[in-house]
A and B are shown apart, each in its own frame.
Chain A
Amino acid sequence: MQPMPSNLRSFLEACLTPLPSERPSPAELLCHPFLADLQNDRKKNGVNFSFLPSPFKQLHRCHDLNFDLPTTTHGPPPQPHTVASEDDHFADRRIREVYYLWSLAGGEVEAELRKTSLIPSTPPICSLPCVVTSGREEHGSGSGLVTHYDRSVLLLSLDQLRKRLEGMSVADYYPLTETSGGTMPGQERHDSSSLPLAIKEKDVEYQFHRMVMFTRLLESYPHSRSLVMAEAVVDVCPLVRAEVWAALLGVKGDIQEEYAAIDKDTEQLTDRQIDVDIPRCHQYDTLLSSRDGHCKFKRILKAWIGSHPALVYWQGLDSLCAPFLALNFNDEALALACLSTFISKYLHNFFLKDNSSIMQEYLAVFSQMIAFHEPALFNHLDSTAFNPELYAIPWFLTMFTHILPLHKIYYLWDTLLLGNCSFPLFVGVSILQHLRDDLLTFDFNECILMFSDMPDIDIQACIHDAVRAYLATPPSTYLRKHDHTYSPPTDVPPEALREPLSLDVLRQESCPHISAHDVIALCGLEYHALGYGGGARESGPTHSLRSPSSPLQRRAEVGRRRGKSGKGGRKGRKGVLVDIRSQEEFRAGHVPGSLSLPHQLAFQPDGSLTPSLPSSSLSSVRTSRVIIVVANKGKSGPEFARQLVRLRFPHVCVLHNGAAVLRSLGLLTALGEDP
């Protein structure tokens, strides 16, 4: 064993100092000779070595509070300030945290002010004199000259809060976050995590634990990013939403410096547009409608434009910026960093000067997802020519910020930020599902009126259904050319994957294409050819195609624990292959277990399925399986699939490149050779 270098030893000893008051702070430790030497060594070898700065601002803690009390104070006389007693765990917390808990525990500043009559009970205008003579004599006012600025200081009592939190131990204030085995302490302990959000957000004890956990994790961000994500799967503590979102987005670096370096003042052509748009963007919010809010809004938008020379300001950018500004009202740099990261992740190239091809592809894929999940609605909207181009552009371009109020956006984005850039498609599908009953009875005119004034929707239920729809959809069906995050699975024969469709094909075909790779997983098949072993082994549930247990999947499990399970409990949907080639071709080679429904014979003149054994098998699994149409190359497959959608079969898709792919993967068996 090598002896420990002396400076490492002294470093470790410093870390292990038992008395907290004598233990060096992290900032002091960073200057320790051990780390300094390490840094110098790396520099010599040409490796850049630096500590990741936290993107978050340092906020005042209670023990930083140091104000001179003016002579006139209301309320009880101030207690002598107890200097950070060992039991006062509030002293070490940020002021906003204590205020947050204080409010939750029933504190209300306005009521306190009223109690001490610091808020006058009569409106200021009533204290103006009725008549003022030219000699400045005043008549008819009770109070004479009043200044409405009052320098009084009111101490808010923490007694009630302390009583509420009596049961908390030291460990509750300082939870361990890096325990082995990966289970988070706290998570299991507080069974209230499965309660509805509205209740959890009002629960002092629950919010205390969530707040402590999140602030603890955020202190070690970016190192703790995955842990923050794991907690955000459960829910997000409203107090720290701004920082949690930044962490989920992966905001890093010295953002204050970067923000300061951007020119936000030079006049640009887009200033006019921004000036017109800001005063009509989420103006019910008191911060966003304030004068200060407008200035900040403009600076951030200009900074975004300035730092993205390849992109332009499209109307909607303002709505997109609104939630970030409202959450980071005192940190424009963080608001901009979040906005930039968000757009590059979820709205890649949507803000190009000519964004129509990106937008149209997104909408075309969205249309296919409507057909996949809501065939009856798809048929109706299609026949009334009410297509997504007429209503869904503001949905996706602004990620729903144009159509939802801020408090709903917060919940939606708490989940959206856990997903990838395709998840919003399913939020769109889910919104339509929630309006389905009305839409089905509406003609074109009624549809357009409904979307002009978006009806109120239950956002929690909507999010829940969106996650469910997302998890029930094979990923290859919503493949997009403009999805910059897409990376094909490795260890898979290339022919088992699919290429994105051209815009024309996407628009012609109502049903999505599916890759052979997804089909193999859905139908529990195995790769025979070329010695590929991967993929199929953990086959079965659709979502095994995704990285094991994605955040959204875990979110769905949290929802399930809430008892909403019922329909959500299904573990992925299996597939059924519908082979529509001629009977001869089917006999010569097909996938065992697939249904043979030759296209020419499958439908009766009225469009319904011709009664037969395979067609009744198909009808019996109509809601439980993903229906995969296997055809030869050409129009036959898409047409067959379209007819199934007309018959309101959900989850219909077409195997990309058809039977030829199955043949080349060695999956076809001649009749009589079925295993």
Chain B
Amino acid sequence: MAAQGKKEHLYKILVIGDLGTGKTSIIKRYVHQFFSPHYRATIGVDFALKVLNWDNSTTIRLQLWDIAGQERFGNMTRVYYKEAVGAFVVFDVTRLSTFEAVQMWKADLDNKVLLPNGKAIPAVLLANKCDLASEGFLGNINQLDDYCREKGFHAWFETSAKENIGIEEAARSLVAKILENDETIDHPQPDGDGIRVGEEDGRAPKKTKCC
């Protein structure tokens, strides 16, 4: 239980993007401060948990859902997306095709999950493997800013799981946006058959607990 007056949040965050873009590596770096060039492929979905001491009065638990890159072609994503409140969409700066797939992933996301107020869930675009980027691949930064505005991304970051670049910043940006949403949205009671992420040990499904 949280200390007196402390708020606790549990947020489900998706990490999606084409296969081999480094989703699992980003998560491992973020959660375990560790990098290895060879994580086994993700089949279906994998998970990780990250606890953030956001400020003196707020603890945030991030439930990171690492979705297999190939799942975009499968029909299981609907199950995985349920009740997510934020997403990272990852592409590999060394492979143009993974960037082209970004809009497909984003469309899939918006198609299958929405916030309780009917809006798209906040998504942050990650340009991963920036340590390997050859000059000029990303075009100029303004272009990617425009791209994000156009496709409805909250923000974008250059990241490198290997060199530990940009991941913390990206996560803070996404979490800030989620918190902002959380305060403005009046939560309806989730229906019974959903995956009740906010709920722990079957207690009242309220996402914010105050003791």
Contact = CB atoms under 8 A, between A and B. Distances in A.
A356 B38 contact: no
B104 interface: no
Contacts of B202: 383-384
Given A272-B20, A445-B61, 10 more contacts: A276-B41, A315-B68, A315-B69, A355-B74, A356-B74, A383-B202, A390-B47, A397-B44, A445-B49, A445-B200
Given A276-B20, A355-B74, A389-B76, A449 B44 contact: no
Which secondary structure characterizes the binding site on chain B?
A: loop
B48 interface: yes
Top 7 A-B pairs, shortest CB-CB distance: A393-B44, A276-B20, A356-B75, A448-B47, A394-B43, A280-B38, A385-B195
B40 A389 contact: no
Contacts of A281: 40-41
A445 B8 CA distance: 15
Interface residues of A, number: 36
Most B-side CB within 10 Å, residue of A314, A390, A449:
A390
Interface residues of B, number: 33
A402 interface: yes
A598 interface: no
B163 interface: no
B100 interface: no
B38 A279 contact: yes
B76 A314 contact: no
A509 interface: no
Nearest to B196: A385
Nearest to A397: B43
Contact of B70 (A273, A280, A283, A383): A273
B19 A276 contact: yes
Given A384-B202, A452-B46, A277 B76 contact: no
A447 B178 CA distance: 25
A444 interface: yes
Interface in B5-43: 19-20, 38-43
A316 interface: yes
Contact of B75 (A314, A354, A390): A354
B59 interface: no
B84 to A, nearest CB: 14
A571 interface: no
Contacts of A443: 200-201
B63 A356 contact: no
Interface in A376-420: 383-385, 389-391, 393-394, 397-398, 402
A389 B45 CA distance: 9
A393 B48 CA distance: 17
Contacts of B70: 273, 314-315
B78 to A, nearest CB: 10
B115 interface: no
Which secondary structure characterizes the binding site on chain A?
A: helix
Nearest to B202: A383
Contacts of B60: none
A359 interface: yes
Interface string A360-384: 0000000000000000000000011
Most B-side CB within 10 Å, residue of A277, A359, A452:
A452
Interface of A: 272-273, 276-277, 279-281, 283, 314-316, 318-319, 353-356, 359, 383-385, 389-391, 393-394, 397-398, 402, 443-445, 448-449, 451-452
B137 interface: no
A398 B79 contact: no
B101 to A, nearest CB: 12
A390 B45 contact: yes
B50 to A, nearest CB: 11
Contact of A394 (B44, B76, B201): B44
B103 to A, nearest CB: 19
Nearest to B194: A385
B1 to A, nearest CB: 14
Contacts of A314: 70
Nearest to B76: A356
A449 B48 CA distance: 6
A273 B202 CA distance: 40
Contacts of B69: 315
B48 A452 contact: yes
11 contacts: A273-B70, A277-B19, A280-B41, A281-B41, A354-B75, A359-B76, A385-B196, A389-B79, A397-B43, A397-B44, A452-B48
B46 to A, nearest CB: 5
A442 to B, nearest CB: 10
Contact of B43 (A272, A315, A354): A315
Contacts of B61: 445
B76 A393 contact: yes
Contacts of A402: 40, 43
A21 to B, nearest CB: 55
Contacts of B44: 389-391, 393-394, 397
Nearest to A283: B38
B197 interface: yes
Contact of B39 (A280, A384, A385, A449): A280
A449 B197 contact: no
B195 to A, nearest CB: 5
A359 B43 CA distance: 13
B162 to A, nearest CB: 15
A336 B97 CA distance: 30
A359 B77 CA distance: 13
B178 to A, nearest CB: 18
B196 A452 contact: no
A394 B40 CA distance: 12
Contacts of A276: 19-20, 41
Contacts of B46: 452
Contacts of A393: 43-45, 76
A186 B126 CA distance: 64
Contacts of A354: 74-75
B181 to A, nearest CB: 22
A646 to B, nearest CB: 14
